[in-house]
Structure 1
């Protein structure tokens, strides 16, 4: 048995390559969809079941930024608060008319 070097921390988790590839593809697909929703009102549901409504004000390859005044999330004094959501945690994006 070989002694471990204290400068080399033990790896406790490594994502499966197939899962990592799927997350990358999904994130890329969602980034394209989100960029088409700029300045549009949306309802977003996350994998955890949380639902938010607001206007898309930005997105990149990792995050969706929506402007919302949802007092349930931000408290009674919220006005035009910015909510940042992680793309791979999104389950549903619905355009609101």
Structure 2
């Protein structure tokens, strides 16, 4: 397997702050637990970018939330049960719909 080490003359352009990394890990764990409790339930998701989606939670792990939207406008007219994958750290609000 080839080595992925950086060349000796490379310059580091960005390194995340350790406190920010710790906060992101905690937030991701919290969201993963909440998403797991919402499995097979209808929710409304709002992202930090202002997008809003409604659907049924069909999967979740420590990185992604999988939402069955049933909304053909995202994936064309033949996708009646489209699955939308959202990144956990981009979620702003999760609302349980009854």
Number of aligned positions between the proteins: 92
For structure 1, which runs of at least 5 residues remain unmatched after alignment? 1-5
The structure number with the bigger radius of gyration is 1
More helix by share: 1
Task: Quote the offset at 1:77 in angstroms.
Answer: 3.2
Compute the RMSD of aligned alpha carbons: 1.4
Q: Deviations over 1:18-70 (max 9, x none)?
A: 11111100000000000000000000000000000010000000110010122
For structure 2, which runs of at least 5 residues remain unmatched after alignment? 1-5
Asked if 1 retains the 8 angstrom alpha-carbon contact of 2:65 and 2:87, the reply is: yes
TM-score, normalised with respect to structure 1: 0.87
TM-score, normalised with respect to structure 2: 0.87
